[in-house]
Amino acid sequence: MLTVPKSLEETLEQASTATLAALKDGYRRLQIELVIPEIALKGMEIAWQFTPLFQEYGAGLKVLFPDTGAAALARREWGEIPFKVSDLGSSRTPVEMKVNDDDQAFLVVCPSAVEVSQVEKLCNIAGERPVVLLIPQLEDVSIVGIGYAARELRKRFLSTLETCYYFRPLEGAVVLRSYPSLWQVFLEKEDEYELIKEEPQKPMGEALERILTQPSSNEEEGSVLPKPKKTSLLGNLQKFLRALSQ
C-alpha cells in the first residue's frame, strides 16, 4: 500500500520505483512532478540520483538541461560518466541537431515553459525512445498563456505526458500519485496521513478543495473534515534539500 513519504529521500525512492514500472509497461513520455518550493534549484543533484534508472542504456542515455551553463556545471560536478550531458538548445541551435541514432533514452532536467517547444520537438523526434521529464514546469500561465494557443499546446503535447510520480505537500494534506496507482489525497491526522480520496485524474483547484472539505465517513452528514494542522512534512523536505548542497 502506498504511503506518504516523510523525507525527500523516500520521495525519490518512490519516484524511481514508479518510473521503472511505467517504463516497463511501455510508457515513453513520462514526467516526475515534485511540487516542492525551491526544489528546481537542486535539479542537478536530484537528476544524479535518477541516472542509475537508465543503467541499461549506458552511453545511450542523454541527460538534457535547459541551458548550456547548467549542462556544463553538471559535467564538471559529475566527472567521468558513462552517459552524455547536453542542453535543450534554442531556436538558434535546434534540438533536432542534438539527437543522434545512438541516443536511446533522455532525462530532461527541470524544463520550464520557456523550453516547452524544444521539449515537444525532442519527444516527437525520440519516437519510441523513452523521454523522462524530471521536475518539469511546462505550464507557466504567464508564458504559455490561457488562450487558444495554450489550449492547443495542452491538447497536442502536454496531454500526451504520463505523470508517473506526483508529490505535492500542502498544509496538513498531501496529493500523491505513484504509477500505477490512482491519484490520492491524504489528510494529516494525529501525526499520520489518512487516505481520504482516490481519483482517476489529478485533483486541482475547486475539485481538490471539495475533497479536503468533504464530509468524513465517520462524521455526521453535513459535517466537514476538521481544518488540518500545519504539518512538519514540508519542513523536513526543505531540510533535506539544504543537505544536498552541503
Type of residue found at 107? L
Answer with the residue of higher pLDDT: 244 or 104.
104
Q: pLDDT at position 139, please?
A: 72
* Separation CA 118–CA 94 (nearest Å): 8
Q: pLDDT at position 96, please?
A: 62
- What pLDDT, in 10s, does the model give residues 3-46? 999 898 999 999 999 999 999 999 999 999 999 988 888 999 99
Q: pLDDT at position 64, please?
A: 96
Model confidence at 193: pLDDT above 70: yes
Per the structure, the count of domains in the chain is 1
Percent pLDDT > 90 in the chain is 59
Q: Using an 8 Å Cβ cutoff, are 195 and 186 in contact?
A: yes
pLDDT category of residue 241 using cuts at 50, 70 and 90: low
Least confident of 62-76, 91-105, 186-200, 216-230: 216-230
**What is the phi-psi region of residue 21: left when phi exceeds 0, alpha when psi lies from -120 to 50, beta otherwise?**
alpha
User: By CB neighbour count within 10 A (0-12 exposed, 13-18 middle, 19+ buried), where does 205 fall?
Assistant: exposed
Q: What is the pTM of this model?
A: 0.86
**Rg (alpha carbons) of the chain, rounded to whole number:** 19
Compute, in degrees rounded to 10, the torsion defined by CA atoms 53, 35, 79, 58. Answer: 20
- What pLDDT, in 10s, does the model give residues 45-94? 999 999 999 999 999 999 999 999 999 999 999 999 999 999 998 655 66
Q: pLDDT at position 149, please?
A: 65
Residue 229, phi then psi, degrees to nearest 5:
-80, 165
CATH code assigned at 186: 3.40.50
Model confidence at 222: pLDDT above 60: no
- Give the pLDDT mean for 222-227: 46
Q: pLDDT at position 226, please?
A: 46
Model confidence at 115: pLDDT above 50: yes
Q: pLDDT at position 171, please?
A: 85
The rounded mean pLDDT for the chain is 85
* Separation CA 46–CA 4 (nearest Å): 19
Model confidence at 234: pLDDT above 90: no
- What pLDDT, in 10s, does the model give residues 149-161? 667 777 789 899 9
Which structural domain range is residue 92 located in?
Answer: 1-246
Model confidence at 229: pLDDT above 70: no
Q: pLDDT at position 221, please?
A: 47
Give the DSSP letter of residue 112. Answer: B
Model confidence at 145: pLDDT above 60: no
